[in-house]
Amino acid sequence: MIISERIFQVLKEKGISQKDFAMKTGIPQSTISDWKGKHVNPAADKIMVICDVLEISPSELLTGTDDSSKWKVDYVVLRRDSAEYRLLRDINELPSHYRERVVGYVDALKMTVEE
């Protein structure tokens, strides 16, 4: 089964119309119709939004089985103009021994806050 077929299967199981799915994902209805009619898969950059709307893991969408316990992945979406994004970018640019020091410092701060 190809990915687009799994999408339509989940839509049917969850009682979500193509129109509602299009509105929730921001993907044009014509594109979704092409997946069905032309038997093509969605673009890779749409997989996460599709999974969020369908409330399934990327693993379940791509393979048809929910083995997400093997792939525990946490992700966070940050705006590029946010302080958090700049902080993570700056830390990532540090040499590894400095990154380790930053992590140690954050751990020490967390311990003082918890007390």
Domain boundaries along the sequence of the chain: 3-68, 83-114
* pLDDT at residue number 83: 94
The answer to whether residue 24 scores a pLDDT higher than 80 is yes
Tokens of residue 49, six digits: 């939004």
CA dist., res. 86 & res. 88, Å (int): 6
Instruction: Please give the average per-residue pLDDT across 58-81, as a whole number.
Output: 75
Helix (H, G, I), strand (E, B) or coil at 5: helix
pTM reported for the whole predicted model? 0.56
CA dist., res. 109 & res. 94, Å (int): 20
Tokens of residue 6, six digits: 């799994």
Residues 6+ apart with CB under 8 A from 42: 3, 4, 7, 27, 31, 35, 50
Per CATH, the architecture of 3-68 is what?
Orthogonal Bundle (1.10)
